Amino acid sequence: MVSASAMRAVQPAILSSFVGTHLLHSPQPLHQLFRYNPGSKHVTMQLSRGFSGLTDLLFNGRNAGEVLNAKRKRLRPGKVSPRRPVPDHIPRPPYVKSKKPPGIASGPEVHDHEGIECMRASGRLAAQVLQYAGTLVKPGIKTDEIDQAVHQMIIDNGAYPSPLGYGGFPKSVCTSVNECICHGIPDSRELEDGDIVNIDVTVYLNGYHGDTSKTFFCGDVDDAGRNLVQVTKECLDKAISICAPGVEFKKIGRTIQEHADKHRYGVVRQFVGHGVGRVFHADPVVLHYRNNDSGRMVLNQTFTIEPMLTIGSYNPVMWDDDWTVVTEDGSLSAQFEHTILITKDGAEILTQC
């Protein structure tokens, strides 16, 4: 029987990359979107709007014979250190006082000139923090040490680390290693030679969030891992390139899925991009796979695109911490993310140095 905490963990139909356990807007009843797997924490979505069991059969078992590297051990939880303090003078996002994730705010993040400049500042800081965090990735470093360094750099710049306290999340950054799809909690595990690790940084600066992530190589990564990471980055780049005022959001998912399919990689469906700005998560919900959702991009709108690809199964399984999400077969997963601004000429990437 699925425990109460597990039920909370698998309930969301579609999750933003950091929305925790909050149910998002859904055009279908919850029981029609999900099937619960007794005795597990599978986060499994029933396909709809043109997707069939045939699609799942063809693509969810992709590369089935190649997914596990015999030299790589399955990821296991480490020890999590106490929550790090933030100086009192640094403004907190409203959700910090509550352990309940606020979920997706209704309405898009569309900005005036001042708001755009604030978004550029928060995005630039997030990019700088991520770049610095990447320099720390090497065999032997603990993911908790990366969190400590990220936390310090963010508060030194007068910003708040957005993940800290979001729905009870205990750390200032997400570190998702190997088969971890997203929401990895930094802990006492040391990175090992051959690991890949996604570092997801969000900062809250002057009332605006900047959100970005990148998958880094730790030491000598094999070709399978390097190829997955490269294609995931290409998926993000291709998706950003088609963005402009009036473009349908569903083109993002189609662009990502087409490129992933060429390389026989899975695209994780339960975690999505989102509007970002004055709130951490806002409309629109940005799907990374083929879909028929409505909605078009508008001038001066900000949102994230953050595809997560897998070598094997794209079915996510959640750990007992109610945050860490891993692939069910232990196969590698990679992610890249940018916050973008829709301009009259297309899209401006806000989260780059």
- Considering the chain, what percentage of its residues have pLDDT values greater than 70? 80
Tokens 């028929």 map to which residue?
292
23 pLDDT higher than 90: no
Contact between 198 and 325 (Cβ < 8 Å): no
pLDDT of residue 62: 47
pLDDT of residue 103: 81
Give 161's strand partners: 203
211 annotated to a ligand binding site: yes
Residue 325, helix vs strand vs coil: strand
166 pLDDT higher than 90: yes
State the maximum Cα–Cα separation within the chain, in Å, rounded to a whole number. Answer: 55
163 CB-near residues (< 8 Å, 6+ apart): 18, 169, 171, 172, 173, 174, 200, 202
Number of H helices, E strands in the chain: 7, 17
183 pLDDT higher than 50: yes
pLDDT of residue 17: 66
337 annotated to a ligand binding site: yes
Tokens 């629109």 map to which residue?
284
31 annotated to a ligand binding site: no
Compute the distance between CA of residue 28 and CA of residue 13 in angstroms, rounded to an integer. Answer: 9
200 annotated to a ligand binding site: yes
192 annotated to a ligand binding site: no
68 pLDDT band, cuts 50/70/90, is low
Compute the distance between CA of residue 243 and CA of residue 111 in angstroms, rounded to an integer. Answer: 17
| The token pair that represents 215 in the structure block | 């998958």
306 annotated to a ligand binding site: yes
Whole-number mean pLDDT of the chain?
A: 85
CATH numbers and ranges of domains, the chain: 112-349 (3.90.230.10)
| Residue with the larger pLDDT of the pair 210 and 101 | 210
> Average pLDDT for residues 215-244, to the nearest whole number?
98
200 pLDDT higher than 80: yes
pLDDT of residue 287: 98
pLDDT tens digits along 274-290: 999 999 999 999 999 99
pLDDT tens digits along 247-273: 999 999 999 999 999 999 999 999 999
124 pLDDT band, cuts 50/70/90, is very high
